[in-house]
Amino acid sequence: MPVTELLLLSLLTGSPNLSAEIPFVAAGLPVEVGTLGEPWEEAEGFLRGGGIGRFLRAGRDLGRGDLRVRARLTLERIEGTAASVCIGGASHFGLDGRGRDLFVEGPLFGGPTRSLGPASRHIEAGHPFTLELVRRGTSLVIRIDGTEVHREELAPDLPLGSLQLRPWRGVLRVHELHARGDLLPLPPPLAEDALWISGEGGYHTYRIPALVTTNRGTLLAFCEGRRHGSGDSGDIDLLLRRSDDGGRTWSPSRVILDDGPNTCGNPSPVVDRESGAVILLTTGNDGADREADIIAGRSRDTRRVHLLRSEDDGLTWSGPEEITADTKRPEWTWYATGPGSGIQLRRGPHRGRLVVPCDHIESGTRRYFSHALLSDDGGRSWRIGGRTPRDQVNECAVAELADGTLLLNMRNYDRSRRLRQSARSRDGGESWTGQRFEPGLPEPICQASLIAVPTVSGVHLHFSNPASDRARERMTLRRSLDGGHTWSAEEVLHSGPSAYSSLTHHPERGVLCLFEAGEAHPYEAIVLRAPRPLPRPTAPETRSAPPPDKESP
């Protein structure tokens, strides 16, 4: 289905005025707001909305600097509601009507739901109240009718993102909504940045993006075209679009791999710097076979790995060459390349090696592992590298650090910790050690992307994923200056539903992110965005000592 565009009733343009107060709703009239879900009713003196999936979004995003939001609101009832102010698409301050408590939750507030005590101290059903959110430096203070109800210390330079009012199971009246301070224009509608929009071009759904930059600076964007539905099996083709101008314009979408009614998926491209060739690894199966049947050993066939090669920046491609025997052990059932890009090593004894991250399940189990495929001849032949020490990880991304160590960042199925996992290799991907959870990288069980960008001082890591431990939402870019031990500056690329992503670094455009996103669900479109430049640190990020290279308990 096409992207559901956010309906802006009025959108002011130009740079934000840090002194003037901007009205979003004034005297109950919409001035600069948008709606998601059913429209809000205009009543005398207020906007009125209720129900799950209904949001009122302010016409500016909240930035990194000082700001104040002021709202005059009424909740028509208290019992059974779950109304909230939603910040950044995934963090909430609001009322849990079942327990009749105020609460905060989400990444901005440290993750899990925290009760702030009875709502009856501050809110009475049917009576207006004034809500204020005030940011000063790294402090965020929330007040109701002048009384402080919560204070949160924020990471420096953290943009807050979108501001939405969510009635959820309640009915909310909005009399006034104003803000002043560091306010940012909304990003353009997703349709403006979309390379593929589900429902168009003969495909029901487009999924699984992969993005690389060639030696000549050409951008190649890949995805799966799912012809008849959104599921992972059935008739799925591999598609490609090219850009010769840094992603400003794109060639028409074209099919580069079509196996009739069967499944062709998990595009994993890697560029060989020596020859300039683009090697594309992909995984497929009989279109009638589903993942559960392949894992259980009752499928018609198994997962198979194929290689395609382009010597002219993606204009033409070789026919698919099957390399399953070299890249998949007989006892492995489910198998997937990437998805996302591989890398070529720049340092050490394995300089020039191609490394593509993959995952598999071992026969007779449902134990997911991550592993690497390796090539030392420019991608013409491949072999299996190291497997992670522990299971419950699968789709992964790899980057090379300044000292030649490889960092593997993995989707995590251990729900005792809703965080990414990582492991490291000091032998070019032959083995992996130090598997651990990443405390700065929350995830809702989803693929992510990781790239290393060489700099004068070393390597900067960039990481993208839906940064929520609850749902596929809030596509976020983070940066690490210390080899992935800590993650600093953050940029929310899309505060709404979002899922898989792929990063690349372009010599002119900088870091680019190709990702799945929508307004109602994450698979409405695949869009490309160039994040705003992240702030330069005032001093290098340091650690007293690197963490020990051992597995987490």
Q: Which residues are designated catalytic?
A: 232, 500, 516
Give the tokens for residue 283: 């995984």
Q: How far is CA 297 from the centre of its chain?
A: 32
Q: Is 366 exposed, middle or buried (0-12, 13-18, 19+ CB in 10 A)?
A: middle
> Is residue 529 a contact partner of residue 193, using CB atoms and an 8 Å limit?
yes
Residue type, 95: L
Assess contact for 197 and 524: CB atoms under 8 A: yes
- In 3D, which of 193, 202, 198, 116 has the Cα closest to residue 151? 116
Q: Residue 74 is encoded by which pair of tokens?
A: 């009424």
The vertex-316 CA angle with 312 and 322, nearest 5°, equals 110
Burial of 511 (0-12, 13-18, 19+ CB in 10 A): buried
Q: Does residue 394 contact residue 382 with C-beta atoms inside 8 Å?
A: no
**Extended strands (E) in 467-550:** 473-480, 490-506, 510-517, 525-529
Going by the DSSP 8-state scheme, the letter that residue 155 receives in this structure is: P
Site of tokens 């899990």: 112
CB 233 within 8 A of CB 304: no
If you compute the radius of gyration of the chain from its CA atoms, what whole number of angstroms results?
24
Q: Measured between alpha carbons, how far is residue 475 from residues 100, 207, 247, 447, 471 in Å? A: 31, 15, 19, 11, 11
Element (H, E) at 500: strand 490-506
Cβ pair 480, 486 in contact under 8 A: yes
Beta strands per DSSP E along 332-405: 332-337, 343-344, 354-362, 368-375, 383-387, 393-400
Burial of 237 (0-12, 13-18, 19+ CB in 10 A): buried
Cα gap 470→464, rounded to integer Å? 16
Give 198-218 as a DSSP string: TTSTT-SEEEEEEEEE-TTS-
Token pair in block for residue 125: 């059903």
Q: In the block, which residue shows the tokens 């059903």? A: 125
The rounded distance, in Å, linking the Cα atoms of 466 and 485 is 20
